[in-house]
Structure 1
Amino acid sequence: MLRELARHCASTALALSMHTHLVGTAVWRWRQGEPVEPLLRRVAEDEVVLVGTGASDWVDSSGTAKKVEGGYRVTGRKVFGSGSPAGTLLLTSAVYEDPAEGPTALHFPVPIAAEGMTVLNNWRTMGMRATGSNDILLEDVFVPESDVWLRRPTGQWHAFFTIVAAISQPLIMSVYTGLAEAASDMALGIARKKSRRGLDLNLPYLLGEMENSLVTAQLAVQNLVDLCDDYAFEPTVATADATMVRKTIAANACVRTVEKALEVAGGGGYFRGCGLERLLRDVHASRYHPLQEKRQHLFTGRVALGLDPVG
């Protein structure tokens, strides 16, 4: 669904993938017997739109949570809130300085319409402009103790991140693969028109390079999907590592595909009316989803050495 939608509007597909992977994570938790059925019913029956901040929080989290009667007061600024203009519920985290356990990341939902919540209209970017990935400001927002569903030490790997990675990456990278497929189709159409006027001897080579990059992306994303198979999935560090490696391969291949599509199109592709310009801007966003390439290399190298992946 996301791959097909991305052929027509990658921003819409990417914003939807952010909601979808949060729903998918809740489904996985429900299958483990966790009490998330009320959330899933709200999504299904009330069309609640979920917005996450995991991409910016990662293992360290951000913002502060101060203990008060009945819960916490949370203050912080969350970035990359994709879909926030239409969002209903923010799934986020903040750091509580636990007097016994030390810095502890608390994970919780909070209504975007809650007192102290502000969606900032500041998404001014090179690409993926229609995702509405604004910053979200939390100012002394009350979070009931009963809404905290996960407590974990900050800065340390947790099995939860494997679950999120395995569910999110096939969805997110499917968007960029669909975008790359659209660019490839567009470039091929231009190339066929060019060839009728006389074949440029370099054109078949360029098309071959473009196809190789596209197939690399398609294979990597299909492998991501396979890693998340219900029967094969295990929330281990090895699974997380395999997911991150394939994300990097897929992202780089998608970028190469769209750049090669522009080369195939030639000077005509440089004009905005062609459509490749938007796809080229959008595809570069693939590199900023966790883990970014060099961070993935470090993660993978540490895993290979038997070290804590984020230590």
Structure 2
Amino acid sequence: MNASPEMIPPDGDVKPATGDNLPTLLAEIRARRNDFAVAQQISGDIIEGFKRVGVYRAMVAKRFGGEERTPAEFCRLIERISEADGSAGWVASFGDGACNLAALPDETLGKIYANGPDVVYSAAIFPLQPARRSTGGFVVSGAWPFASGSPGAALIGVGIAVEDDPTGGLPRVAVVPAEKVTIRPHWDVIGLQGTGSHDVVLEDIIVPEEWTLIRGGSPTLDRPIYRYPSVAFAAQAHAVVGIGIARSALNELIAISRSRPSITGAPVMGQRGYVQLETAKAEAKLRSARSFFYEATEELWNEALNGSINPNTATLMRLAATNAALQSAEVCNIASSLAGTGSLYTASNLARAMCDSFVVAQHAALNEGTLQRAGQLLLGGPAQPGFP
């Protein structure tokens, strides 16, 4: 019997060893993805499932009980979760936040991981809100949108601007316990509806300086995974969500093309020439983008292992991430278009994939503006704070 395309792991990848819990968790996510959209958040039991399969400990230092997984291993895990549901994958992708937290002082990290490495962190960085210095640290007030996964987080980071702060143009992030943060529901969108990307609000909260970090700055911990550029890693952790969503959309299209008859009496979809042609193009588009993505990941990781990052390599990683997001969205649009009226229903996986992938590609770290910035750097132009 010939294996169908959806049964073949792209590029022959060996999946990460996340334990026997992962297939069960993925099945549960697929069964409940409509529920997540209605609730506008991923449920607490799924967040606990993420902990069991290692999402939140993957990038935590081994000295704190973490695993220090490679960027490619983490991304493949997020890709599989995203194939089950884009919103679940997006929330899980914030497991990369441990790399940002690694810029906190060692003593602070010890407190964060005192009870284990499975700490759920959410962040909403922009717009930076003004904060003032006090004897206890910084007095922080303001509202920040797009705090994905905040309903299930234990720690929440917010971007602040402090007068005469020597950060080199990089944002300072105040990390606070979730109980000090008000979550203001404000997530009425067409895609990634289950991510709980609400506004977070702080009112005159004093944050000690040792609980702040410089996003994109030097990490406290000197390990290869923390030499890997954290801003680039955040972009690729989001981009790989699009790859998983697109894989799900193509699998759906292939399945219905083989069996669904036309109500007009036309041949089944899989027997129509234009469907065969566009499906082949979409498959090649997705696999090409995915291959570039993981090739750039491995190249950058090898440099982190050797202790020195070439800015051009980091730029290529950002380019690969943006390309993955944009190409994945195009693949989802192709799949939805080919499926015809079957993709119109709100509960359709193809409709969900099209909308979810569109939102991924609209992210500030992945939209077409980042292509221009990558091209500028590749052509010898000046770097900007926070890019690549």
Q: Could you say which residue in structure 1 is the equivalent of 2:256? A: 190
Moved more, 162-171 or 100-109: 100-109
Secondary structure of 1:306's counterpart equals coil
Contact kept in structure 1, 2:86 and 2:192, CA below 8 Å: yes
Q: Which residue of 279, 286, 307 corresponds with 2:360? A: 286
Counterpart check, 1:254 vs 2:325: no
Secondary structure of 2:162's counterpart equals strand
Cα distance 1:232–1:264, how it changes in 2: closer, same or farther (>3 A)? farther
Could you tell me how far apart the structure 2 residues matched to 1:231 and 1:103 are? 27
Could you tell me how far apart the structure 2 residues matched to 1:194 and 1:233 are? 54
Cα distance 1:102–1:139, how it changes in 2: closer, same or farther (>3 A)? farther
Q: Could you say which residue in structure 1 is the equivalent of 2:88? A: 12
Q: Which residue of 127, 136, 139 corresponds with 1:70? A: 136
Could you tell me how far apart the structure 2 residues matched to 1:104 and 1:192 are? 52
Counterpart check, 1:222 vs 2:286: no
Cα distance 1:106–1:249, how it changes in 2: closer, same or farther (>3 A)? closer
Moved more, 285-294 or 83-92: 285-294
Could you tell me how far apart the structure 2 residues matched to 1:143 and 1:111 are? 10
Cα distance 1:67–1:48, how it changes in 2: closer, same or farther (>3 A)? same
Q: Could you say which residue in structure 1 is the equivalent of 2:201? A: 137
Could you tell me how far apart the structure 2 residues matched to 1:254 and 1:102 are? 34
Could you tell me how far apart the structure 2 residues matched to 1:165 and 1:256 are? 25
How much does 1:66 deviate? 0.6
Could you tell me how far apart the structure 2 residues matched to 1:277 and 1:239 are? 36
Deviations 1:164-213 (Å, cap 9, x if unpaired)? 23322332222211111110010001111158945222221121111122
Counterpart check, 1:3 vs 2:74: no
Q: Which residue of 268, 282, 285 corresponds with 1:213? A: 285
Contact kept in structure 2, 1:162 and 1:237, CA below 8 Å: no
Matched residue pairs, number?
Answer: 294
- Percent identity between matched residues is 20
CA RMSD after TM alignment: 3.1
Contact kept in structure 2, 1:216 and 1:253, CA below 8 Å: no
How much does 1:76 deviate? 2.3
Q: Could you say which residue in structure 1 is the equivalent of 2:313? A: 239
Counterpart check, 1:200 vs 2:272: yes
Could you tell me how far apart the structure 2 residues matched to 1:289 and 1:68 are? 34
How much does 1:296 deviate? 1.3
Contact kept in structure 2, 1:269 and 1:276, CA below 8 Å: yes
How much does 1:111 deviate? 1.2
How much does 1:5 deviate? 1.4
Q: Which residue of 292, 297, 300 corresponds with 2:374? A: 300
Could you tell me how far apart the structure 1 residues matched to 2:383 and 2:202 are? 30
How much does 1:36 deviate? 5.8
Amino acid at match of 2:279: L
How much does 1:261 deviate? 0.9
The TM-score with structure 2 as length reference comes to 0.67
Gaps of 5+ in 1: none
Secondary structure of 1:286's counterpart equals helix
How much does 1:113 deviate? 1.1
More strand per residue: 1
The TM-score with structure 1 as length reference comes to 0.82
Cα distance 1:104–1:227, how it changes in 2: closer, same or farther (>3 A)? closer
Contact kept in structure 2, 1:119 and 1:136, CA below 8 Å: yes
Cα distance 1:137–1:124, how it changes in 2: closer, same or farther (>3 A)? same
Cα distance 1:265–1:237, how it changes in 2: closer, same or farther (>3 A)? same
Contact kept in structure 1, 2:322 and 2:371, CA below 8 Å: no
Q: Which residue of 169, 172, 184 corresponds with 1:120? A: 184
Q: Could you say which residue in structure 2 is the equivalent of 1:98? A: 164
Q: Could you say which residue in structure 2 is the equivalent of 1:41? A: 113
Q: Could you say which residue in structure 1 is the equivalent of 2:45? A: none
Cα distance 1:107–1:274, how it changes in 2: closer, same or farther (>3 A)? closer
